[in-house]
Amino acid sequence: MDVFSKENLPRPPGIINSIKAGFDLIANNITAILFPLLFNLFLWLGPRLRMDALFNSIKGDVVMIWKSGGIPAEDITRAMDLYEMVIPSINLFWSFRTFPVGIFSLYLPQESLLTTPLGAPVVWQVGAAGLLGWIFLLTFLGWIGGGLYFRSVAGLARVDKDAQPLSVFRALLQTILVSVSWGFLSLFAGLPLFLILAVILQFNSFIANLFVLFFGIVMMWLVVPLFFWPHGVFLKKQNAFSSVMTSLQMTRFTLPTSSLFIMTVFLLSFGLNFMWSIPPEDSWMMLVGILGHSFVATALLASSFVYYRDMNAWLQSVMERLKLNQPKRA
């Protein structure tokens, strides 16, 4: 007899059942995949926004500055070779993919995608004056698109379908607050650790690898409590700060199960992305991969809302049962 039977407590929601419920929701509401579908199609067939012309215009000045700083010629050559390989493959339109609220995409910024079934894509070059403006504009539009996307999927997971849905204005406002807070938190936590790693690399690579392992474990402990930060906003209509407290409270009592759920979602998404990327980008078969990615990514998002909804309901039920079972003081 387990602890749930001894205390007459309900069992927590299952991970597999939550994922299955999410897939069923999207299968019955297939239009929910339109946001990632259209975004993926744009990244695949649309124009490229690149900055290699900007890099080429300042490359000589950068090399001169590095030489005057005493950097060895071999290191400069190695860095330039790396930049010349990476910079031309960056599509700045990927900035539209925002975190933690955003529209999921199949393509990463380092993927070149130099050809499509329609031929060579149009390439737009960004100048020094417009670089930050483009990034800011795309990020802001990404927040808007991500907020609408999360709002639509969360609406499918609501138990009370007749309840007033979260207003578009509130969804967008709280999306921006969550995203900006997440950005500052990531910068505050990540920048010092990366600086420490850079210093350690100067002395011992083995210790640096151990530090990376430790850093990964720490990040896992940070990501799990914050993973459900947006869910309270879109499912319970909380503000950004109340939502993060709800997420922290939920994962405090359900850390093993919630960690396993997040890991399952990550492995499914990450593993299937390899399959979706098998067709060459100049083949119309890539459309199959885009459709598959859009469906699975949206279904996994719906699963996370289902898991969050059911786990919070389970926690509330358990707390009420425990209060009733507590012996009364004389």
Residue 314 has pLDDT above 60, yes or no: yes
Average pLDDT score over residue span 78-83: 82
Q: What angle do CA 143, 267, 235 make, to 5 degrees?
A: 40
3-class DSSP state of 282: coil
Average pLDDT score over residue span 265-290: 88
Residue 105 has pLDDT above 60, yes or no: yes
The span from the CA of 117 to the CA of 202, in Å, is 46
The span from the CA of 266 to the CA of 269, in Å, is 5
Q: Which residues of 214-232 are buried (b: 16+ CB within 10 A; e: fewer)?
A: eeeeeeeeeebbbbbbbbb
| 326 touches 14 (CB < 8 A) | no
Residue 145 has pLDDT above 60, yes or no: yes
Per DSSP (E only), the strands in the chain are 48-50, 123-125
Report which listed range, 11-15, 186-190, 244-248, is most confident: 244-248
- In whole numbers, what is the pLDDT of the chain averaged over residues? 84
Q: What is the pLDDT of residue 110?
A: 44
The model's pLDDT over 194-211, given as tens digits with 9 standing for 90+, comes to 677 666 666 666 666 666
Please tell me the least confidently modeled range out of 3-7, 8-12, 47-51, 245-249. Answer: 3-7
ω before 100 within 30° of 0 (cis)? Answer: yes
Q: What is the pLDDT of residue 318?
A: 82
Please tell me the least confidently modeled range out of 124-128, 143-147, 161-165, 255-259. Answer: 161-165
pTM across the whole model: 0.86
Average pLDDT score over residue span 26-41: 96
Token pair recorded at residue 227: 């993973």
Q: What is the pLDDT of residue 210?
A: 66
Q: What is the pLDDT of residue 184?
A: 86
Q: Which residues of 175-198 are buried (b: 16+ CB within 10 A; e: fewer)?
A: bbbbbebbeeeeeeeeeeeeeeee
| 296 touches 274 (CB < 8 A) | no
Closest to 291 (Cα-Cα) out of 275, 271, 309: 275
The span from the CA of 236 to the CA of 216, in Å, is 31
